[in-house]
Structures are given as structure tokens and as C-alpha cells.
A and B are shown apart, each in its own frame.
Chain A
Amino acid sequence: MPVNTYDAIIVGSGITGGWAAKELTEKGLNVLILEAGRTIDPGTDYVEHKPIWELKYRNWDDRDVRQKSQFVQREVYYACDEYSSKFFVSDVENPYTNVDGTRFSWIRGRQVGGKSITWGRQSYRWSDLDFEANLKEGTAVDWPVRYAEMEPWYGYVEDFAGISGQAEGLPQLPDSHFLPPMEMNCAEIDFRDGLKKHYDDRMLTIGRTAILTQVHKGRAACHYCGVCHRGCITQSYFSSLNSTLPAALKTKKLTIRPYSVVQSLAFDSKTRKISGVRVIDAKTKETFEFHARIYFLNAATLESTRILLNSATTEFPNGLCNSSGELGHNLMDHHMGAGASAIMPGHEDKIPFGNRPNGIYLPRFRNVKVKEKDFVRGYGYQGGGSREGWNRGTTMVGIGADFKNTLKTPGPWRMGLGGFGECLPYHSNFVVANKEKLDAWGIPTLTISCKWNENEHTMSKDIATQAAEMLAAAGGRDISMYQDISIPGQGIHEMGTARMGRDPKTSVLNSNNQAWDAKNLFMTDGACMVSASCVNPSLTYMALTARACDFAVNSMKKNEL
């Protein structure tokens, strides 16, 4: 084989890049992953068991340094902290611009493993309530797939990844192939039972999460240290680093090239195919070109789209594979920032043992059976019960032995619900290439324009009031409600900008995640999404990736690629 030439090149090594690598190598292809960031050595980079007293600022973070270098990234306060900020990009090296009057928080992880190291791990199948929503409402374009086509692929990725959860038989939230569920705690059980008594259309289930509750495919069960986003030396949660990349490397057909910043793709206008990837070495700034028969863009939603926008040609002046004009448009995220919490009385002699890296899930009930007047689509809640800990001591009256002994005993049980709401795909939420502002490697950056519209704001109010009402109905006391809608991007569920569809005139990718304009190019990260659902998207990315890999390799065998 010629130098720098492979059967397949994958850009990015996160959740979808890892899956593409596993699928393509296991099907016999020689694969190169181009990863913009560094390698991760779990032995030294994972810090989940590092005691907090070993941190200089006890997780108050090196704020001055971080405010300068990660002023956007650290909005993910629970993960981009004194332990884990190394898994997020430098905002100085990776700038972008918001259009005046809008704001999008773009959270990124550039390293082998990508954001799969720090992701939330919540894993839910979508249903036809999601896949048919656009068509039924006449919004944007129709999804070119339905649940029946996705179902076997969900099962396929779940069997490898390992998803723990409880089967519930809900049509709007299909069950996965589950490993045993994690336990609910006292407050959650009370809330679940109270909810059941008062509502026919609502229920509570344990979070469905890509964390192993038993030994699975050679990976150990969770040991409940509870801080997955700092890494996991026992590989007990799903990340590309913990599972798909090791499987791909086992085939001896995978090469991972770190520090490989992709600048653009080359397009051959005669063959109508991608002919190469232009790469800048992040350390030496040398440029290289790599070639393959097929290409997978899995750089994360906006980075994948950015690469196409930066690959413009005379034929495609507004971005490669953009004959539809939809490239960069229809950016979505889930809106958060609304919910409530309450004290759940009783069980003072009980406490959770261990740190469960998972919460509860209250599935969507709006616009499922009955059509709501005020808004379309719906939302689900995540959250959980816990007992107040020593932190309450910072604002509690008292000093001395009594104060100390009071803090030794936990405070009351508190139940919290936070909504994740569906955002509609608006053509007016978009990204474009910005040649005026370059990143640390001289590559044009993105200008982003994204904001919520009336449907999201109206839904957000309902999220808060329904959370408070349900907590009250289930026996909650001392209820606090909040409604302060999140900034787009903070959900870190950015989707769209290179949507799939049934028509090349209105979409960038076909039903197999294949670019209409370059048939050896596939995009299977969040960029391909046509709508947002209200459930976490990563499991669907995984299923779409495995499905697209199967299609791509079959096409290669038939000499169609």
C-alpha cells in the first residue's frame, strides 16, 4: 500500500470515532484515526481515586489560570475542575465567535478518547415519537430512519457497551438490552411510589447508564467511587478509551495518530469523492496528507461541520458537500436549567452506601398521548435523592463539638429533578466559517449563532412547575423551584448542522449517514441529527455509527465505493 494510505480514515477518537474504528477494523479494514489531541495514559491521566487532600486547592480549582485558559470549558463545573480540566480544550488555542445577541457554550475535549472520557453516560433509545416528530408537525425535514430500522443496531451497540437499567415497557422510551439496574435510594423510592399514586401518565425509573453493574466483555463491574468523569482504571464505564479502541487495536488493523489536527478534506470533482485529508501536526505544525477509500468524520458535531466548511471548493463555495445549503444550519442542544427540589421526610436512619454515578429518570409525558396547547415536543427529568452532607456546615449556626457531631450525621433526604427539554431544529441556528479569526494552528474558526425560541422558553416554565407539583404530590416538603434556562451548548448535546434526510436538496447526508455530494464520506456524530428528542443522544450516535459502518463496508464489497 502507498505511504499514508489506508482503507479508511476516521477523524476523531471519541464515542463515534471509537465505534467506527471497532466496526471497520473488525470487518477487516486497515484504519487510521486522526486525533487532534494528545494520547491518554490511563495509569497516569486517570485521577478518579486521587484523594481530594492531594489537590492543592482541594478542588476549588486554580481559578486564575482556568479563567484565562478555559473560560468557556469550565462552565461544565462538575467535570472541568481541578481534577479533570485536562480533559477539556484550551479556549485560547480553540477560539470561536458568537454572533451579537446570541451565546453558545462550545464544550470540547481534544485527546484520544475525546469527550467520551467525561461524558454523562446516560443512555436511552429514541422512539418513533422522536423519529416521526418532524414529519407529523411539518417541522424541518423527516428523519430518513424509523425505530424498526434502528432497533437491531441499538441492541448491537448495547450488547458491547453494557447499559444498566430497568425494563419498563414504555412506548416513548424503548427498553435497551439491560445489565442489572442500580438501586434507587430511600427518597427516590418514596418519590416513585408517590408519583405512581397520583399520576397515570408519569413514572420514575433508575437512570439507564453505560456503566457496568456486573463483569461484562472482560471489563470489571463498577466499584462506586462515583466520579467517572475523572477516568476509570477498571474500565467500568463505556468510553472509547475503555472499550471500543482496545477492541479495534486488538485486530492489529488500527493506527491512531495523535496531535493530528485536520485542516480540510480534498475533493476530486471527477470521481465525486473525497481524495484526501489535510493534516497539521499539532506539535511541529508540519502538514501531511492522508488517503483512503472511505472517510468517517467523527470529530464531534461542530468540529466535523467546521472541517467541511473549511474544505470549500469553487463548486462548493459555502462548504464541501453543501449543495443543499443546509451545512452548518439547524444547530440544536437540550435546554436545561429548570426544575425543583424538595425534602422527602423520613428514613433518617438510612443512608446510601457507596457513590452511585447515576441518578433517576422521569420519562417524557408531555405530547405523548395528549397534545399540549402551549408547546410541541417534551422533556424528561434527571436527578436523584441524597442526604445533605457536611457542606451545609458552611451556612449552619454553631461551632464546637456539637456542630461537628451534627455534621457527622447527614441532613434530611432531598429529592431533585432537573429537566432536559427538546429544542426544535431551527434553520436560523447556525455556524459559519470565520476566516478572520484563526485557531492556534492557523485554521479558520467558527462563528456561531444559536438561541432558544418561544417553544423552548414555554416548555422550560412547564418543566419547573411540573417538577414542583410532582414533588409536592409525592410528599415533598420545603420545595424550591428554579427556572433559569441554560445557555445553548451547556447541555453538551450539540446536534445538527449536517443533517440526514431523504432529499439531497434539503439535507447533507442520506439515510446511511453518507454525504449526498461525496459518497465515500460518512458523518455519524451529532452533526447528522435531524431533531433532538429530549433524551440523551449518544446511544443513538453509537447505533447510527455501527449501522453506517456496516453499510459502508457492504458498499465497498460491492465495489460501489
Chain B
Amino acid sequence: MQRRDVLRLLAVGATIPVLPPTLLAHLREAQDKVSAGNYTLRTLSPEQNKQVVIMTDLIIPETDTPGAKAAKVNEFIDVVLTDWAHEDERQAFLKGLADVNQQSKDLFGKDFVDASAEQQATLLRSIDDVAMAKHQGFHAARHGNTIPSERDHQLQGPFWDVFKGITVHGYYTSEIGFSKELGLEIMPGAYHGCAPLTEKKA
């Protein structure tokens, strides 16, 4: 049975106050099917892709849950660079990757992908410290139908802001990030305003 069919049944049998476990199981099943399939890179070269995979996985590594590499954040980045990015944004992104590689060469005498894991992490940390410092103390305050300034501008700005932004977005909007890491449900089935934090399946 398809997810839609289950939902239709639910709509008809409208006396069910809480979602039946079978419905949730079907939802998960339907979701599992989506991630299958092989992706062919369209913008990133194999070398660039290798660098992107390492960088995203250094930002969000595997812990007790899979990290950015397993969540295929690099594929999301390639899709965005190919079909969403404008030429100047695409070039700026690729130049940013090249700059990181050049810094690796200057510091360690090696391409980024050939540097040790420790060297790679050290380099990214130093870039991150400088780039993120300027954001501290800022909070988005708005509520309502106003236009959020960041819409459409996700690939604009300093390279590290763009790279970290797309990595974080790509990971937590992946099935791994959403379901496995954050333990979120698409249909929680109930609302409690002040539930214990542990109840939110960690």
C-alpha cells in the first residue's frame, strides 16, 4: 500500500484520534525508497567532489549517527551548483574550493585532499573561527509574512558562509539528518508544549 492510500484511509476513518503505527511504518517505507539511485556529478569534477565530501564531513562527521558524507550533502551541493546557481555564484563557489586547496598547499605543501585529517581539520577550523566571529550576537527577530532577507541569497557572501550554510542545510534536510540525527517525525500525532527534552527521541 502506498503512503497516500494509507492517508486516504485515515481521512475516511476519521474517528482514529492518534496515528496508527502501521501508518508511520508505511510513511517510513515510502521515504526509504526515495534515496535509492546513483548520482552522476554535473558541475563538480571528481577532484572537487572529493574535496567537498571531506569538507562537509569535517563539518558534520559521523558520530553515533551518520554524517554529511553518508547523507550525500555533496550531491545536494552539485545539484544546487548545476541547476540553481547563477554563473557568478557557481564560479565564486569553485574559486572558494580552489582557495582552500591553495591554503593547504601553502601550509602543508599538499593538496587539501592529500593532507592528513588533522591538517584538514586545523585548516577548516581556522577558516571557520574567522568567518563565524562576525555573526555572533545576531538574532533573527522577525515574525510574520515579511520577506526574509536571506531568501535567494544562499550562495552569496563569503565562501565559508556559503559552504557551511549549504552543508548544514543539506545535512539537516536529508533523511539522515532529519530522522536519524534529530529524531524528528513528519507526523508526530500529538502536541505537548513542554515535553521533556529526552522524549524527543535523540
Chain A residue with Cβ nearest B162: A394
Asked whether B189 lies within 8 Å of A354 as measured between CB atoms, the reply is: yes
For chain A residues 404-419, which have a beta carbon within 8 Å of chain B? 404-405, 407-410, 414, 416-418
Asked whether A356 lies within 8 Å of B191 as measured between CB atoms, the reply is: yes
Is residue B25 contacting chain A, with contact meaning CB distance below 8 A? no
Contacts of B15 in A (CB 8 A): 215, 220
Q: Mark A43-69, 1 if CB is under 8 A from B, else 0.
A: 110000101111011111111100100
For chain A residues 375-422, which have a beta carbon within 8 Å of chain B? 382-384, 390-391, 393-401, 403-405, 407-410, 414, 416-418
Contacts of B189 in A (CB 8 A): 223-224, 354
Asked whether A490 lies within 8 Å of B141 as measured between CB atoms, the reply is: no
Highest count of chain A CB atoms <10 Å: which of B67, B139, B182:
B139
Is residue B61 contacting chain A, with contact meaning CB distance below 8 A? yes
Bound together, the chains give a CA A43 to CA B9 distance in angstroms of 11
Chain B residue with Cβ nearest A385: B193
Is residue B95 contacting chain A, with contact meaning CB distance below 8 A? no
Give the residue of A58, A405, A491 whose beta carbon is less than 8 angstroms from that of B63.
Answer: A405
Is residue A76 contacting chain B, with contact meaning CB distance below 8 A? yes
Asked whether B191 lies within 8 Å of A77 as measured between CB atoms, the reply is: no
Give the residue of B59, B135, B139, B187 whose beta carbon is less than 8 angstroms from that of A49.
Answer: B187
Asked whether A408 lies within 8 Å of B145 as measured between CB atoms, the reply is: no
Chain B residue with Cβ nearest A481: B141
Asked whether A347 lies within 8 Å of B194 as measured between CB atoms, the reply is: yes
Give the residue of A62, A408, A490 whose beta carbon is less than 8 angstroms from that of B182.
Answer: A408
Contacts of B196 in A (CB 8 A): 349-351
Contacts of B125 in A (CB 8 A): 399-400
Is residue B21 contacting chain A, with contact meaning CB distance below 8 A? no
Bound together, the chains give a CA A75 to CA B27 distance in angstroms of 32
Bound together, the chains give a CA A169 to CA B3 distance in angstroms of 44
Chain B residue with Cβ nearest A412: B139
Give the residue of A78, A223, A356, A418 whose beta carbon is less than 8 angstroms from that of B187.
Answer: A223
For chain B residues 141-176, which have a beta carbon within 8 Å of chain A? 141-148, 151-152, 154, 161, 164-165, 168-170, 172-175
Give the residue of A225, A336, A404, A414 whose beta carbon is less than 8 angstroms from that of B67.
Answer: A404
Contacts of A350 in B (CB 8 A): 194-197
Give the residue of A60, A189, A234 whose beta carbon is less than 8 angstroms from that of B14.
Answer: A234
Highest count of chain B CB atoms <10 Å: which of A350, A353, A382:
A353
Bound together, the chains give a CA A274 to CA B14 distance in angstroms of 42
Is residue B7 contacting chain A, with contact meaning CB distance below 8 A? yes
Given A54-B34, A225-B188, CB of A401 within 8 Å of CB of B14: no
Bound together, the chains give a CA A549 to CA B147 distance in angstroms of 38
Chain B residue with Cβ nearest A395: B135
Is residue B181 contacting chain A, with contact meaning CB distance below 8 A? yes
Contacts of B27 in A (CB 8 A): 49
Asked whether B83 lies within 8 Å of A188 as measured between CB atoms, the reply is: no
Is residue A138 contacting chain B, with contact meaning CB distance below 8 A? no
Asked whether A403 lies within 8 Å of B145 as measured between CB atoms, the reply is: no
For chain B residues 52-92, which have a beta carbon within 8 Å of chain A? 58-61, 63, 67, 76, 79-80, 83-84
Asked whether B133 lies within 8 Å of A352 as measured between CB atoms, the reply is: no
Contacts of B83 in A (CB 8 A): 56
Give the residue of B146, B170, B187 whose beta carbon is less than 8 angstroms from that of A225.
Answer: B187
Is residue A339 contacting chain B, with contact meaning CB distance below 8 A? yes
Given A49-B187, A390-B168, A401-B63, CB of A60 within 8 Å of CB of B154: yes
Asked whether A401 lies within 8 Å of B61 as measured between CB atoms, the reply is: yes
Asked whether B63 lies within 8 Å of A404 as measured between CB atoms, the reply is: yes
Contacts of B19 in A (CB 8 A): 223
For chain B, the bracket of interface size reads 35 or more
Is residue A233 contacting chain B, with contact meaning CB distance below 8 A? yes
Output the least CB separation between A213 and chain B (Å).
Answer: 9
Asked whether A400 lies within 8 Å of B59 as measured between CB atoms, the reply is: yes
For chain A, the bracket of interface size reads 35 or more
Is residue A221 contacting chain B, with contact meaning CB distance below 8 A? yes
Contacts of B197 in A (CB 8 A): 348-351, 409-410
Asked whether B151 lies within 8 Å of A58 as measured between CB atoms, the reply is: no
Asked whether A337 lies within 8 Å of B144 as measured between CB atoms, the reply is: yes
Chain B residue with Cβ nearest A393: B168
Give the residue of B10, B138, B143, B152 whose beta carbon is less than 8 angstroms from that of A234.
Answer: B10
Contacts of A52 in B (CB 8 A): 173, 178
Asked whether A354 lies within 8 Å of B188 as measured between CB atoms, the reply is: yes
Asked whether B169 lies within 8 Å of A351 as measured between CB atoms, the reply is: no
Given A341-B139, A353-B188, A353-B190, CB of A58 within 8 Å of CB of B145: no
For chain A residues 191-243, which have a beta carbon within 8 Å of chain B? 214-215, 218-225, 233-235
Contacts of A382 in B (CB 8 A): 143-144
Bound together, the chains give a CA A334 to CA B193 distance in angstroms of 29
Output the least CB separation between A18 and chain B (Å).
Answer: 18
Given A51-B31, A225-B188, A404-B61, CB of A58 within 8 Å of CB of B170: yes
Is residue A492 contacting chain B, with contact meaning CB distance below 8 A? yes
Bound together, the chains give a CA A399 to CA B128 distance in angstroms of 8
Chain B residue with Cβ nearest A58: B173
For chain A residues 483-522, which have a beta carbon within 8 Å of chain B? 484, 486, 490-492
Is residue B47 contacting chain A, with contact meaning CB distance below 8 A? no
Asked whether B143 lies within 8 Å of A417 as measured between CB atoms, the reply is: yes
Is residue A478 contacting chain B, with contact meaning CB distance below 8 A? yes
Output the least CB separation between B128 and chain A (Å).
Answer: 5
Contacts of B16 in A (CB 8 A): 220
What are 5 A-B contacts with C-beta separation under 8 Å? Answer: A49-B187, A52-B173, A58-B173, A61-B151, A478-B139
Q: Interface residues, chain B, CB within 8 Å of chain A? A: 3-4, 7-8, 10-11, 14-17, 19, 27, 31, 34-35, 58-61, 63, 67, 76, 79-80, 83-84, 121, 124-125, 128-129, 132-133, 135-136, 138-139, 141-148, 151-152, 154, 161, 164-165, 168-170, 172-175, 177-178, 181-182, 186-197, 199-200, 202
Smallest CB-CB A-B distances: 3 pairs: A185-B193, A480-B141, A418-B143
- In addition to A53-B173, A218-B14, A418-B143, 5 A-B residue pairs with Cβ atoms within 8 Å of each other are A75-B147, A349-B197, A350-B195, A352-B193, A354-B191
